[in-house]
A and B are shown apart, each in its own frame.
Chain A
Amino acid sequence: MPEDKAYTSAKDIEQNLVATLYNYIGGATESEGLQGTPRGVYDWNSITTDEQLIPVRGGDWYDGGFWLRLHTHTWTPTELPLENTWNYLYKVITLCNKSLYNIEKNKTVLSNTEYTGFTSEVRAIRALFYFYTMDMFGNIPLVTDYHTTQNQIKQCNRNVVYQFIIDELQSVLPYLANEHSNYKGKYYGRITRPVAEFLLAKLCLNAEVYSDDDWTDKKIPNGKDIYFTIDGKKKNAWEATITYCEKIKETGYVLDGYAKNFCIHNEESKENIFVIPMDKMLYSNTFSYLFRSRHYAHGSALGLDAENGTCATCSTVKAYGYGTDSVDPRFQLNFFADTVKVNGNVVKLNNGKPLVYYPLEVSENMTGSLYEKTGGARMSKYETDPTAYDNGHLQDNDIVLFRYADVLLMEAEAKTRNGMDGEEELAAVEKRVGAPSLSANLDNILKERLLELMWEGWRRNDLIRFGKFDEDKHLTVFPIPSICKDLNHNLDQNPGY
């Protein structure tokens, strides 16, 4: 269909310039989608941490050393998935710019409300993608005009991009519907006001990181000295975080049953804030993390397929108290460990022995080990959809990107960092699952974030904020992919690479 015929009415503009962008939140191919697919944003934020890994298992999962390099922080600018991730993120940003250009060009067919509504939503999507891009790559090109030429594309300091994202989100916030986006209905899967507020809270909480233009030195700015203006009032980073968390609270989110947020029909969760809508009959978005984690026999027992890969690290399962008398209640919910049962029956290997996962028998390269195929606790978290299609890639559970428990933990952390008491929020999260309450200090909060948000893609972000991602600070951002640098000589490599 010729492009000039696609934007002739408000409805066409809405569908083909705004709604169309939501096709790119999830993905069906490698490195595409914010979550659900392999080798993309999620893996760069998770496999690179102490939370999870994909060990080399004999002939499986060597894959040219990719997973090893991710986990041991020895990635290089030439990693193809890194380039693909960059291209994915900037594709969506460029499409947003294109949408804004075309909305502007055809604004005569729109009412003022439509015009502001449409542009605000597109700008919010663009801000979301700039958030992930900035978080991964640090100094990145800030392109806001569809007709920017290659010669005009130069990097901005991380702080400039950071300020831009905050400004954009703040200015579109009033025009976004104040609705839950995870419920089926008009706003299902869309960026509504609480989604943008969550993002703002996240951005403010990470102010010390994002406003630091030289992350390779040991000096970091102090959040108390970084100011934001919210509703006319000047607030430091922690106060700003608290303000946005409170706003989300007011929209009526509550902690639900932990498992309810990840069940097959989790659209009714009162806690999820932003999700990738999944419906195996309708949408092509895939979720491959359960599939790639479980053992082959486990997959067969479910009538699905498997790749026997991802597992939790030893330090993760130990943090849950695995092997001790007091195991965190969420261990059961997040992992498959020990003898595996499906529908009450023990899963058998082909040789008749039961399938046992060994959570503590994990190393980066398990080739030749007795536990080569069975080492490591596997991902559970999401309820297994027995009618999943495509080897289990297409399921009905929506993929959770943002949820309220994180809001409470952010608030607890901001309060603590601001010298206030974060006990209430921290306790609420612990109490919901029946875990013992710990005092609200930064160490406990980081640990609680691991226990609560396991498998959810936040670990790298958290560790960097707590200064625990890597001793070598240049590794806290990824290198500009070499191909992108080769194609655009204006781009400078991030320091240290």
Chain B
Amino acid sequence: MSDGINHQTSVDPMDLWRQWNETTSKMWSTVLERGKEAPLDPYGLYQLWLKNIEEAQKQLKADPSGMMNPLEVWKQWFDATTEVWSRSTELSKDSLELTSQWLKIVEETRARILSGEIRSTDPFTLFKQWYDATSETWAQVVGDVISSERFMEANRNFIETYTSAVRVSHRVNEDALKNLQIPTRSDIARVAELVVSLEEKVDTIEDVLEDFEDSYAKVATSEAVESLAGRLEQVESKLNTLDTLPAALEKIEALGGLEGRLDRVESKLDTLLLALEKINISVPPGTATTRSSTGRRIQKKNYASQGVKDAALGIELAKDNDE
């Protein structure tokens, strides 16, 4: 069998846990019983705890083969703990109901351990199993405490006190730093505000320029410029054809003038014809031949007058052409 040294180095952690909890529970029961055994002083509690630890160590050395069934160890521990916490619930005011809630957790955990749900000896795995087994209840307990009126009131008071202290501290620091001519956070913040305002203006200008660019202006590409140049050339060539316009306009004006002249010539010829007709009428009868000759003469004169007309027209036209 293993000697005492081996067992001391490979002591069952469950047993140690049991010893520690018994010691602790004794300490708490002493406190909660209002120090029936001894006056309540911090050193007294510590000494009681040390005393119980020494007793546990003696028991361990005396009983090196004390390798109890872990479940039995747990059972003993839970029995001791629940007994202590039950007594404390009865004795104390337990305004936040922490004690009774803690007792509920302990009892629930006992059930799980004794059923074998938590059984590992690896400390990390044990811790995780413990957490998985108890976290829901823990969360419920803590949630109930946090949502209680007492807790929220205390929290509100704390916020008021703390923020008040922070305000005073900031004010004192600001004044001290100002006296030392050292820039403070508020000084830097003021400068930063100016920079932010400037950036705001630049951003607004950028926004306006982008709107303008997207809505109206297009970038003038070389293709666009060349196309515009081509269109300008076409317009110029069309304008060039309009140089003959004045001459054409003059001809139109000349024609208009000619028309007037023609009208005058016609009126003159009409006057001449009238005169010739009067002459014809004044010629005596018997002169049929005369008449006929007169007719021939008149016809000749008609031809002549036509010729005169034509000649007159030609002279006038020639004159106009010369002019």
A binds B: no
Residues of A at under 8 Å CB distance from B?
A: none
Residues of B at under 8 Å CB distance from A?
A: none
